[in-house]
Structures are given as structure tokens and as C-alpha cells.
Amino acid sequence: DSGVTQTPKHLITATGQRVTLRCSPRSGDLSVYWYQQSLDQGLQFLIHYYNGEERAKGNILERFSAQQFPDLHSELNLSSLELGDSALYFCASSVSLKGQPQHFGDGTRLSIL
Amino acid sequence: GENVEQHPSTLSVQEGDSAVIKCTYSDSASNYFPWYKQELGKRPQLIIDIRSNVGEKKDQRIAVTLNKTAKHFSLHITETQPEDSAVYFCAAPRGASGGSYIPTFGRGTSLIVHP
């Protein structure tokens, strides 16, 4: 158990819909990273929050947004879903801004029908 | 930005053999190199990491070596066991604005250990 909690574990929805994925970091960790993992793309960095502020963006689509709340949990919002958004979405937390090391949650498997 | 190449993409060994996975990176400022093990359908788990001020680090059957001049680092697993079968990912950070570091992951190596 990494101490990072992600909900839900599985999500099945249809194209055009909107979903929210949730991540609670390990106790004491201020950094939250979001990643997308699909079969042909490996682990792709989406966005990084530190202590409530966005600190870095990766290959995150405009249809996706995220935030980190005062209690440090984070949410990733995916809207206007497309078939290609089907993937495993991981969050990882770290105590530091540098994110070294990172501890991953168990992920949310998103399936778009 | 950082580019990380990982080889081989698949590695098949017999139980008891050694396995070596190599990654090369492009950003000479990178200073932290973790390795993750991911079993099918599960989360990536950090198994070992190394910082740029050392050349080698060991943890039981696992070791990582770093060559900063050549910009490559390798994962060594000795006396492999079937439970070592998984996908292994390397990563190298690149600096972002405001002091943040973004890890760039290799594409992964599928290690298969045959009993």
C-alpha cells in the first residue's frame, strides 16, 4: 500500500460525457502528479500541483483540467470524452516540490464506450 | 525537453540469470534517476533510485549504475526469479519553471523470467 488513494478504481462512461477522478496523497505529501497510461503511449505526465498551486503542465488536453484543494487532495476533470481517452490514470504524490521520489496510487481505469 | 530512451523493449531470461535494462537521457542537468516496476494492471512501484552524486547503488538483488558522462543509467537484476516478471520503467527529470521537476519516463521493458 503506497498510501496514495485514488477513486474510483473503474469508470465506464460514454463519449461526450464528463468524469472526475480523485486522488488523496500520502499524509504529509504536498506534491500531486497526474499521469495517463495507455497501451501505446507509456506513462505520460499531465499536470503537477504543489501545496494547492499548479506548478507544471505536460501533455494535458484543453478538455482536461485539475485542481488541488486546501486539504491537498486533487481532482482531475475530463470532459467531452472521446474513445481515445480510455486509459489508466494514475496520480502520484511526493513530499517535495521536486517530486523525488514519487509514490503512485492504484490508478483509475477509464473506459469510454 | 528531456528525451529518455529505454532498451530493450522485451527481455526474456531463465530463472537465475541476470537481467540488464539500459536507459539514456538527453538533459545533462538531470540529477535523479528512479526505476519503477509495474505488474500487470497494478501501479508503478519505486524499486530503486540513484542521484547524480553517486555512480552505483545496490539493494539486495537489484542495482543501478549511472554514467553521467555518457548520460546513461542501467538497472541490474541478479538471480532473477519468476516474480521479477513485470514491466520496468526508468525516468529522468527535467526542470520546469518555479523549481518543479517533471519526470520523463522510458517506454518500458517487459521482463519475462522463465522458471
Nearest CA in chain A to B51: A100
User: Is the CB of residue B104 less than 8 Å from the CB of residue B32?
Assistant: no
Per-residue pLDDT of chain A (113 residues; tens, 9 = 90+): 889 999 999 999 999 999 999 999 999 999 999 999 997 668 999 999 999 999 999 889 999 999 999 999 999 999 999 999 999 999 999 998 877 889 999 999 999 99
- Are A91 and A97 in contact, with CB atoms under 8 Å apart? no
- The whole-angstrom separation of Cα B34 and Cα B75 is 10
Tell the burial category of A16 from Cβ atoms under 10 Å away from its Cβ (0-12, 13-18, 19+). exposed
Question: Average pLDDT of each block of 10 consecutive residues along chain B (115 residues)?
Answer: 89 97 91 93 94 90 95 97 96 78 90 96
User: By CA distance, what is B37's nearest residue in A?
Assistant: A104
Based on the number of CB atoms within 10 Å of its own CB, is A83 exposed (0-12), middle (13-18) or buried (19 or more)?
A: exposed
pLDDT at A109: 96
Question: Nine-digit cell at A95?
Answer: 513530499
Q: What are phi and psi of A98, to 5 degrees?
A: -75, -15
What pLDDT, on the 0 to 100 scale, is given for residue A26?
A: 96
How far off is chain B from A99, nearest CA to CA, in Å?
A: 7
Are B32 and A100 a contacting pair at CB < 8 A?
Answer: yes
3-state DSSP: chain A helix, strand, coil percent, rounded to 5? 5, 55, 45
At A40 the pLDDT is 67
- Interface contacts (A, B; CB < 8 Å): 66
Q: A99 vs B107: CB contact, 8 Å cut-off?
A: no
Closest chain A residue to B91, measured at CA: A43
The answer to whether the Cβ–Cβ distance between B108 and A42 falls below 8 Å is yes
Return the pLDDT at B1: 66
Q: What is the dihedral of CA A95, A101, A107, A110, to 10 degrees?
A: 100
Instruction: Name the residue of chain B whose CA is nearest to A53's CA.
Output: B98
Residues in A closer than 8 angstroms to B45, CB to CB, are 2, 104
Residue B54 CB burial class (10 angstroms; 0-12, 13-18, ≥19): exposed
pLDDT of B53 reads 82
pLDDT for position B111: 97
* pLDDT for the residue numbered B54: 82
Nearest residue, CB atoms, A43 vs list B93, B100, B105: B105
The model's pLDDT over A68-98, given as tens digits with 9 standing for 90+, comes to 999 999 999 999 999 999 999 999 999 988 7
Among B43, B103, B104, beta carbon nearest to A106: B43
